[in-house]
Chains A and B, each alone.
Chain A
Amino acid sequence: MPTTYNGIGTHYYGRRRQRNRQAVCQICGRPAQLSTYETRLWFVVVFVPLIPLSRRKIVDQCGVCQRHYAFPLRAWETGRLSDLSAAVDRFRREPCEESAANVHGQLLTYQELESSKSFRQEVLEQFSGRAEIRAALAWQLESSGLPDEAEPLWDEAVELEPELPAVRIGLGRRALVDDKLDEAREHLRFLEEPGAEQQYSLDALFDLAAAYQRKAEHEPALEIMQALLAAFPDMARDHQIRAFVLQSEKALRRQESILSKVDHSIDRLFSSQYSSGQRWGLGLLAALILAVVGALINNEMIRRGRELTVINDTGQTAEIRINGQDPVMVDGLRKLPLSEGEHVIQISGPVESEHRLTMQTDFWRRWTDRPVWILNIAGEALIADMQVYYAVRPQEPSWNVLFDPVVFRRHVDYPFEEPPDTLPLNGNSTRTVSALSWIQPAGSRNAAYGNYFLLKEKNEAQALRYLLKKIVRNPGDSVLVNLLRTEWSRSQESIIRTTLSPVLDARPLPTELHEFYQDLPDIRQAYEPLRQRYTEWLNQYPDDASLLYLTIRFEADPAQREKLLQRARKQGLSASGLSYLQARKAAANSDWDEALRHAEAALDFDHPHQLAATIRHTALIGAHKFKEAESHLQELIAKSPDDLSSAMRLAEIHAAQDRREGAGAAYREVAASLSKEVQEQYIEELAAMAAIVIYLEGDLDGFLKESEGVRALETMRYAALLERSSPRDVWNERPSDDDPEGRWAPLQTALGAFLHGDASKQRFWRKKQISRLESDGPFYNAVRRIIEDPPAADELPDRLAATWLGPDTQAMILLHLASLTNDRSEREKIVEVARQKLIRRVPPYGLLRKVQQKLLTSLESEQ
């Protein structure tokens, strides 16, 4: 049958030699006009015939159901010629009934109805009185859908030989068509007799039984079926026959069946004993069982075929040993095949650790989920856990950062794969997919730095944990320690303390980490345990200069500190830290040359660079070696054109020489030369330095404006505010009480109160300062005692120098003490000492200077 799909396919076009006849359609069984014609089969596109394929003879196309028989035209025509010719030829040679019926049959087959009619008449004349030929021709006519033409022949045959089996079968069939079942049965009864199947076709009996059943006459239907089953016992196995019989038996409520019991066997599976539905059912069951078995195997294969994604972002090759098997070296990302279950994973290399990993997923979800297990060595790799949205107007992907040592995600659509840019969606639907990716900023040092800020964007606590982890693994990394120093907050101190405490044991000694640790407020307050540890370490490593430096640095008792320093000198130990401490001590004593010498020695060790550099800078100003300082700083700037610190110090040197105007030119030149990226990256630091430079140029308002919101300048800004305004107006802007940098804010406020003649407030803030120092722990006991119970002016410089406080702080304390004393000579002495200590020009220089002026003015007025 020609078929088209959306107008493309095959189709018949054209009709030739068409002949129509009225007959019963052999396919649908309805009387209709049947057409026989020649046509051509075409390949069509949009029903337009394009390629001729073959010529066909369409036979008996039913006007009702349109169904028909189709033959290749050539084969049909050749067949017609040969079959008709052979039949006629045989009839000429053997003019018997059989050959005559053959010719008649061929004529009907090839739709030669007129010829068959005339030939029939001739034959009937020729074989007059013969019932068999009439029955044969009648049957051929019935089979060709021409029952009306068959009828007279049946009548004649009955008249001639009513007992002729062919006649009885024919009449039986006719009665069947006319729905006269009992009459049909009478005609066909001889077929029910035993042994009839040996001689005749019993098809008519099947039709009769079916007709009885359709009319709900089950008794005769069963009788006929019984006869048929006797003739064909094997038929009792046929599922259709069984269904037929059972239907009638059920209708008659028969207790016993005429059907024999059937055995089920596999060799009969493909016999008629089973219906195609049963076979399909069994097949589908088998397919289902197969699919279930396959699914179970597949599930097991999934279970066994898991992967452990190992990410090593430590920069050092890690050796992974799973369940005691041979080790696997991992550098970067590597997927290790692993089955679900309990696993012991030992990591060595960058870290030495052991994990007990349980890989387990839900049985059913194995087919739907793509779980991911990640072993993040030392938790150093950052893994972006993303949700990517697909829609016509999708929202931005949301993401989270993971850096736990072991990560499990139940389902990830794109584990360490790039999600596609687009996905096909229906209409306005949306789709969300999950993805994991390893965040890899370039360069290991910058990587940690960048990763920290990336994490900080999402979660500060997470970022700190990450940073601490990095420091724990790299305790000597000064970049990381400095980052921690600038980024930590008081609320995080506990976790920092807990995390870093074990790292202090590391060797070589992580000096900067120790320094940071020593400076933690809680540590300084709970001073003894760490001091004890240093004592123990020092006993263990008596020749370790760095350890000695750190021990001295953490020594709150000035006498003990001095003793240790002498011990270092005696032992001839030299270390950057020791030089720095000596410089610090000298600066505290205003021994600028000594301070300069030791600071330069410390700078030669390159540690601690900024602190030593600051002491050196202070010493140069203190010693009025401006030219030397200036040329040195210019030299540094020339060497490093981006050296902003030096440029800023140069501005201070200019300010110290009262060359305030244009003091910051060099700084601005250096700042302008920085790349945009660097400017963006260090925006806060640059803002702070720019504000200080403005201050040094004498623009207090400018400083206050520029320093607003700059966290690093909070203390300086407060001092500058006090320089201009009453403490009542600005005290709210003082640094937090927790801020170590804001330690001297109460004293500054007291000085502000002094400036504004508010004695009660001055006392109030003094008390505040004392309690603050008290809370800061033993390190500030000495200075607290000085403020609380000031010694005589003659003792005061030495007492203060012993605290190793910087000259500016000493100046501040001295000015405060001077403002409190009523003894003019004492006050004068103290102010003089303070004047010598007031070296730096950065805030609170202005405030202190004003206090100093006021005190001097009061001294003058008292004179």
Chain B
Amino acid sequence: MMDRSEFDALVASVDVEFEGRTQALTRHTHRWMLLGYAVVILLTLLLIGSGLALFIAGTLWPGPGMALIIVGGLLIVFGVGQVGALVFVDQPEPRGIELAPQQAQNLRQLVGMLCREMKSPLPQKIILTEDFNAAIAQRPRLGIFGWSQSWLILGVPLMLAISPEELASVLAHECGHLSLKHGRQGSRIYQMHESWERLFQKLQQNQGGGLKSVAGSLVIRFLNWYWPRFHARAFVLSRRNEFLADRRSAEATSVETTADALFRIECLSYFLEHEFWKETWDDAEQQDQPPDDLTERLRAAFRTAANSPQASRWRDQAIQRVSGSEETHPAMAERLAALGQSPEQTQQRRFPESPNSNAFDALFGDDAADLEQAICARWKEQVSAIWRDRHRRITTLRTDADIDDNVFADGDLSAAELWARARRVLDASGLEAAEPLLRQILASEPQHTGANMAFGQLRLEQGHEDGVQILKSVVDQQTVDWTGAAAAVLEQHYATTGQKQRAGEVRAAMDQFDRERAAAEQERFQFKKSDVWIEHGLTEFERSLLSDEFRKLESCRRVWLARKKVQHFPDEHLYVLVVQSNGPRRQRPTMEDELIAPLMVKCELPGRLLVIADTGEFRRAARQIRNLPGSLIYEFDNTTNNLVPT
């Protein structure tokens, strides 16, 4: 399996190899796609091929031909059915408010004009959504064979934010995709993804021995090899396609208008994500229903966005963001550069002021009010359950906090208890609400990984660079629970601040961590003859605590304990406890089996614990541990009913 660094390197090499040769890259990616389909349908093709052979033989062979024709026909139909089931993917239709033919005539005229100009097919339907986005969706009626129908998806918030000229640029960009058949490409990639999913599901459904498992493992091997290689090309192609669509857009409008639109959308994306939506959702603390006036709020927010204290930060992030290997859209700065905007020109841009008139009002005319209301209602409907749940959580949390506050003073709560409460606050209200608790935890336990992770993330969100150090410390701790999450936040931070190399370093560190972690898991849960067992190293007190637990289990006769010497994450100790029961010989396996789970749950050791039965599946490891001097930590003489000193 290709790791992140290898994937990044591959993407970079594809990018270099096809520099300025998008057509070649398209063909190349198509060939890879065909390979994917070829393998998906290989088995069924064999079926169809043999069916076809029988069918032809049947038609040419007078006499017993009819039987061959029938068998061949059934094989062909079955094979085609199998191929169809894999290849014909029912792509969901985009959801939203579909514009009636008589609505938004200005918009329709604009789209029509742009389509004519770009010689692209006219989208069959126009859908309005509550997203801050515009897109073209295509759905082939005949699966991989095409005959697409297309939708133009327009987010009302986006249209409220940009000028009519900028919307024309956005529409031109989307029409560019249509004219260049990018939607079809995307759709095919989507379909192939689904086909592979289905194949996987089939293989899982048919899991068994023999050929099926061999076929399954072969498919997985192929997929491990193929999937990243195909996607590397698909991602590069997708980003190239965006450049091409931008170019079309600039040709249809102007470079400046296209660049302005891209810049405004990027800046406002950050603004919406980090300010507008946050503030809107904060209302859930007080109100149990989402607001009815989303568009009004958006209008107001867009009017004042440029005056936001964070505006320059959003502008910086918009300019500095670099695109990752797995992104379908290039970073805004790269897009502007591709349009011929120099870095200096880009740097000189300020957070965009609200346009004099927005595209929505300009293009929807009399329909604007109704559609605005409909989109508000739709958004409200979409989020109401989440909203109510959030409101309920916050209310409950507040009630619990009140109760806790009445019962405990802050100092009475342990770091673990504070962390438990912080988690609930994080879950319900987000990072900022949890900040006081996080600070409290870190004051008492500065190395608390979870709290550091959340606090580091919060600091970064607030624009404080010390968050990086905090998250780095979490990554360095190499814990199962937090390292991955901290690395992801760090990577995102580096990407949005243009630190591509550091983002790469984080990804490389994550690769290493994943490898180590996988090796560690394998090392810990596979018992081998070559395993090295070392003394448990427990104190007398710790042993006595354990003995108390053993004594509670009547059938427990002897217990041995040892530590496994591990190569990966050696500080994370692995203890293996061997238990022997005192029952009759025939009943011992069952009795020992019944001891495993209670001991695993009850025994607390400074590391991870595995409990195995003396007569169980892992009896060779048990014998090795028994033979280790000093491993016997508990022995109960049931004849005298006394503990035997060990």
A97 to chain B: which residues have CB within 8 Å? 420
User: Who on chain A is nearest to B590 by CB?
Assistant: A17
Within 8 Å of chain A (Cβ to Cβ): is B113? no
In whole angstroms, what is the CA distance A367 to B526 when docked?
Answer: 65
Restricting to A234-268, which residues have a CB under 8 Å from any CB of B?
234, 265-268
Q: Say yes or no: B73 contacts A269, CB within 8 Å.
A: no
Contact of A294 among B55, B84, B380 (CB under 8 A): B55
Is A146 on the interface with B (CB-CB < 8 A)?
no
* B604 to A, closest residue via Cβ: A92
A96, A129, A265, A298: the one within 8 Å of B66 (CB): A298
Q: Which of A93-129 contact B (CB under 8 A)?
A: 93-97, 103, 107, 110, 112, 114-115, 118-119, 129
Is B617 touching A297 in the complex (CB atoms < 8 A)?
Answer: no
Q: Decide if B644 is an interface residue (CB 8 Å cutoff).
A: no
- Please name the residue on chain A nearest to B526 by beta carbon: A78
Q: What is the CB-to-nearest-CB distance from A231 to chain B, in angstroms, rounded to a whole number?
A: 10
Residues of B within 8 A of A93 (CB): 481
Asked if B443 is an interface residue, CB under 8 A from chain A, the answer is no
In the complex, whether A286 has a CB less than 8 A from a CB of chain B is yes
Q: Which of A185-230 contact B (CB under 8 A)?
A: 190, 193-200
Chain B positions 292 through 304: 1 when the CB is less than 8 Å from some CB of chain A, otherwise 0 = 0000000000000
Q: Does B384 contact A (CB under 8 A)?
A: yes
Separation of A529 and B381 alpha carbons in the complex (Å): 120
**Would you call the interface of chain B mostly helix, strand, loop, or mixed?**
helix
Q: How does the 8 Å CB contact mask read for B613-645 relative to A, with 1 for contact and 0 for none? A: 000111000000000000000000000000000
Say whether B598 contacts A118, CB under 8 Å: yes
Residues of A within 8 A of B59 (CB): 294, 297-298, 301
Tell yes or no: B70 within 8 A of A by CB. Answer: yes
Q: Are B84 and A270 in contact (CB under 8 A)?
A: yes
Of B77, B611, B618, most buried by chain A (CB within 10 Å of CB) is B77
A77 within 8 A of B: yes
Chain B: which residue is nearest A79 at the CB level?
A: B525
Q: B62, B84, B92 — which one has the most chain A CB atoms within 10 A of its CB?
A: B62
Indicate if the CB atoms of A95 and B420 lie closer than 8 Å.
yes
A267 touches B140 (CB 8 A): yes
Scoring B66, B596, B597 by chain A CB atoms within 10 A of each residue's CB, the highest score goes to: B597
A487 vs B591: C-alpha distance when bound (angstroms): 108
Q: Measured between alpha carbons, how far is A118 from B141 in the docked complex, in Å?
A: 57
In the bound assembly, the distance between CA atoms of A200 and B384 in angstroms comes to 12
Q: What 1/0 mask marks residues of chain A from 256 to 296 whose CB sits below 8 Å from any chain B CB?
A: 00000000011111110100000100011011101100110
Kindly supply a per-residue 1/0 record for chain B positions 511-542, scoring 1 wherever the CB is within 8 Å of any chain A CB and 0 otherwise. 00000000001001110000000000000000
In the complex, chain B residues whose CB is within 8 Å of the CB of A82: 521, 524-525
Contact status B66-A367, CB under 8 Å: yes
Stretch touching chain A among B219-227, B233-241, B385-393, B490-498: B385-393
A61 to chain B, nearest CB (A): 16
A284 to B77, CA, bound (A): 8
A233 within 8 A of B: yes
* Other-chain contact of A115, B139, B525, B598 (Cβ < 8 Å): B598
CB-nearest residue of chain B to A200? B385
| B442 part of interface (Cβ distance < 8 Å) | no
Minimum Cβ distance to chain A for residue B208 (Å): 10
Instruction: State the Cβ distance, B577 to closest chain A Cβ, in Å.
Output: 11
| Number of B positions contacting A (CB below 8 A) | 74
Tell me if A16 and B590 are in contact (CB < 8 A).
Answer: yes
A73 in contact with B73 (CB, 8 Å): no
Closest-CB distance, B611 to chain A (whole angstroms): 8
Determine which residue in A85, A93, A95, A287 has the highest number of CB atoms from chain B within 10 A of its CB, and name it: A287
| Distance to closest chain B CB from A543 (angstroms) | 62
Contacts of B526 in A (CB 8 A): 78
Give Cα distance in the complex from A163 to B78, angstroms.
Answer: 51
Contacts of B525 in A (CB 8 A): 78, 81-82
Q: Which of B93, B600, B618 contacts A85 (CB 8 A)?
A: B600
- Closest Cβ of chain B to A306, distance in Å, is 9
Alpha-carbon gap, A200 to B385, bound state (A) = 8
Q: How far is the CA of A779 from the CA of B78 in the complex (A)?
A: 90
From residue A226, how far is it (CB to closest CB) to chain B in Å? 14
Assess the B590–A84 pair: CB atoms within 8 A: no
Kindly report which residue of chain B lies nearest to residue A280, judged by CB atoms: B81
Question: Does B450 lie at the interface of the complex (its beta carbon under 8 Å from any beta carbon of A)?
Answer: yes
- Give the shortest distance, in Å, between A98 (CB) and chain B (any CB): 8
Q: A194-B381, A298-B58 are in contact. Are A103 and B601 (CB under 8 A)?
A: yes
B232: CB under 8 A from chain A? Answer: no
B105 to chain A, nearest CB (A): 26
Residues of the A chain whose Cβ atoms lie less than 8 Å from the Cβ of B450: 94
Residues of A close to B17: CB separation below 8 A: none
Query: How far in angstroms is the closest Cβ of chain B from A16?
Result: 6
Q: How far is the CA of A269 from the CA of B524 in the complex (A)?
A: 48
Interface presence of A447 (CB below 8 A): no
- Say how far B76's CB is from chain A's closest CB, in angstroms: 6
Does A305 belong to the interface (CB within 8 Å)? Answer: yes
Chain A residues contacting B142 (CB-CB under 8 Å) are 266-267
Beta-carbon nearest neighbor of B595 in chain A: A115
A94 shortest CB reach to chain B, Å: 7
Residue contact B609 to A198, C-beta cutoff 8 Å: no
The distance in angstroms between the C-alpha atoms of A268 and B143, with both chains bound, is 9
Binary flags per residue of B73-101, CB closer than 8 Å to A gives 1, else 0: 11011101100110011111101000000
> How far apart are B492's CB and chain A's nearest CB, in angstroms?
24
Residues in A whose Cβ lies below 8 Å from that of B261:
none
A74 at the interface (CB under 8 A from B): yes
User: Smallest CB–CB gap between A184 and chain B, Å?
Assistant: 19
* Bound CA–CA A411/B63 (angstroms): 12
- CB of B617 within 8 A of CB of A74, answer yes
A85 touches B610 (CB 8 A): yes
CB contact list, A46-101 vs B, under 8 A: 73-74, 77-78, 80-82, 84-86, 88-90, 92-97
Bound-complex Cα distance A114 to B60 (A):
70
**CB <8 Å contact, B382 and A294:** no
For A103, list chain B residues within 8 Å (CB).
601
Q: Does A19 contact B (CB under 8 A)?
A: yes
In the assembled complex, the Cα of A361 lies from the Cα of B87 at a distance in Å of 45
Which residue, A74, A81, A190, A200, has most C-beta atoms of chain B within 10 A? A81
CB distance from A658 to the nearest CB of B (A): 79
Is A593 part of the binding interface, using a Cβ–Cβ cutoff of 8 Å?
A: no
- Whether, in the assembled complex, B612 has its beta carbon less than 8 Å from a beta carbon of chain A, the answer is yes
Are the CB atoms of B601 and A107 closer together than 8 Å?
A: yes
A195, A295, A305: the one within 8 Å of B381 (CB)? A195
Whether A302 sits at the interface, judged by CB under 8 Å, is yes
Do residues B420 and A294 form an inter-chain contact, with CB atoms below 8 A?
no
Cβ–Cβ < 8 Å partners of B81 in chain A: 270, 279, 283
> In whole angstroms, what is the CA distance A493 to B72 when docked?
63
Q: A267-B90, A294-B58 are in contact. List 17 more A-B contacts (CB 8 A).
A: A16-B590, A78-B525, A81-B612, A85-B600, A95-B420, A96-B423, A114-B597, A163-B392, A190-B385, A195-B386, A198-B382, A267-B143, A270-B84, A279-B81, A291-B70, A294-B72, A301-B65
Which B residues fall within an 8 A CB radius of A?
55, 58-63, 65-66, 69-70, 72-74, 76-78, 80-81, 84-85, 88-93, 95, 139-143, 380-386, 389, 392, 396, 400, 403, 416, 419-420, 423, 450, 480-481, 521, 524-526, 589-590, 593-594, 596-598, 600-601, 604, 608-612, 616-618
A-side interface residues toward B, CB under 8 Å?
A: 16-19, 73-74, 77-78, 80-82, 84-86, 88-90, 92-97, 103, 107, 110, 112, 114-115, 118-119, 129, 161, 163-165, 190, 193-200, 233-234, 265-271, 273, 279, 283-284, 286-288, 290-291, 294-295, 297-298, 301-302, 305, 366-367, 370
29 of the cross-chain contacts (CB-CB < 8 Å) are A19-B590, A73-B617, A77-B616, A82-B525, A84-B597, A90-B480, A114-B597, A115-B597, A115-B600, A115-B601, A129-B400, A163-B392, A194-B381, A195-B382, A198-B383, A198-B385, A265-B141, A266-B88, A266-B143, A267-B139, A267-B142, A268-B88, A269-B84, A273-B90, A286-B77, A294-B55, A294-B58, A298-B59, A366-B62
A-B pairs with lowest CB-CB distance, top 6: A271-B90, A294-B69, A112-B597, A290-B73, A302-B62, A115-B597
